[in-house]
Amino acid sequence: MCKCQPYLPKVQAGVPSDVTAIPKETAQSKDMEVLRSMPLFSSLSQETFDKLADSVRFDRYVKGDTIVRQGEKAQWVIVVLEGYIKLTRTAANGEETLIHIFGRGETIAESVAVLGDNHTTTAEATGPTRIVRMPAHVVAQAARDAPELALAILSESSAKIWALMDEIEALKAQTADQRVLRFLLSLCPPNATNVEARLPYTKGVIAASLGLKQETLSRSFARLKIVGVEIDGRKVLVQDARVLEQEIERLNRFV
């Protein structure tokens, strides 16, 4: 993917495309409930939650918008309300590597913001996205005052560590087809049959998230037709999730 191009973000990092698109109050009252139910907030006392809630800001982005930039000081803790955000790292030569993708309810930069460090990755919207952001210093202070918040943040970080370890395991021990199968399984309810799902982001992004080239993903999808996977644009049909699991197993025998 396009190397060495000068870095020209479409909007300045942290400046949303159209903050004012929806009336603030209506959005907030409903979103506040959603927020309260999210992992980072659900274990907090009402008091701690209110303290944070006072300073939250809702933003909305479109595909390609940069939300935080690698190297910048972390000013905000961000929670995804809707859409998907990809974390990437840009090496000295301009090569961009996708590290991880975050979806609804997941938190970005929570530890780095609380500790006052710099971002080590860039975060970019993969499509229309809504987030909520809280000033780092507010969260940091609240974490000092309320151990429950510090533990909730720790819990988020811990979950992130597991997710990254999963990714490393997949990259080291699984073939392209196995990773694609795992990804497809993540779109299906367990043991379901005749699942109809939608790809959450473009195939290019899916490929990068699985450590593949787009062409390889395309070929993989084609191969997986024989195990009951049909891809049509963004639409996915899986005949039987258990067959996919068996196929992952089967492919292991040959490795």
Contact footprint for a second copy (CB under 8 A) = 87, 89, 91-93, 95, 97-100, 111-112, 114-115, 117, 120-121, 143-145, 147, 150-151, 153-155, 157-158, 160-162, 164-165, 167-169, 171-173, 211, 249, 252-253, 255
221 scored as a contact of DNA (CB under 7 A) = yes
The item of DNA, a second copy, none sharing an interface with residue 89, based on CB under 5 to 8 Å by kind, is a second copy
CB-wise, 15 or 164, nearer to a second copy?
164
Q: Radius of gyration over alpha carbons of the chain, in Å?
A: 20
**Share of the chain residues as helix, strand and coil, in percent rounded to the nearest 5:** 45, 25, 30
Best CA proximity match to 118, nearest among 67, 68, 154, 52 = 68
Which among 98, 72, 85 has a CA at the least distance from the CA of 124?
Answer: 85
Which lies closer to a second copy via its Cβ, residue 91 or residue 226?
A: 91
CB of 168 to DNA, least distance (A): 14
Which one of the spans 66-74, 82-90, 136-144, 208-216 is the region binding DNA (CB under 7 A)?
A: 208-216
Q: Which of residues 224-243 bind DNA (CB under 7 A)?
A: 231
Q: 111 touches which of a second copy, DNA, none (CB within 5 to 8 A by kind)?
A: a second copy
Phi, psi of 225 (to 5 degrees): -55, -35
Residue partners of 22: CB distance under 8 A and separation at least 6: 60
Distance (Å, rounded) from C-alpha 172 to C-alpha 98? 16
Could you give the maximum distance between any two Cα atoms of the chain, in Å? 57
Segment interacting with DNA, rule: CB under 7 A, options 18-26, 34-42, 147-155, 203-211: 203-211
214 binds, among a second copy, DNA, none (CB under 5 to 8 A by kind): DNA
Q: Convert residues 157-176 into a mask of x (bound to DNA by CB under 7 A) and - (unbound).
A: ------------------xx
Cβ atoms of 217 and 207 within 8 Å: the answer is yes
Q: Hey, how many other C-beta atoms are within 10 angstroms of the C-beta on 21?
A: 9
Of these partners, DNA, a second copy, none, which one is at the site of residue 230 (CB under 5 to 8 Å by kind)? none
Neighbour-count burial of 253, counting CB atoms closer than 10 A to its CB (0-12 exposed, 13-18 middle, 19+ buried): exposed
Instruction: Tell the residue number behind the tokens 């080291």, with chain if given.
Output: 172
Q: How far is the CB of 253 from a second copy (least distance, A)?
A: 8
Closer to DNA by Cβ: residue 132 or 238: 238
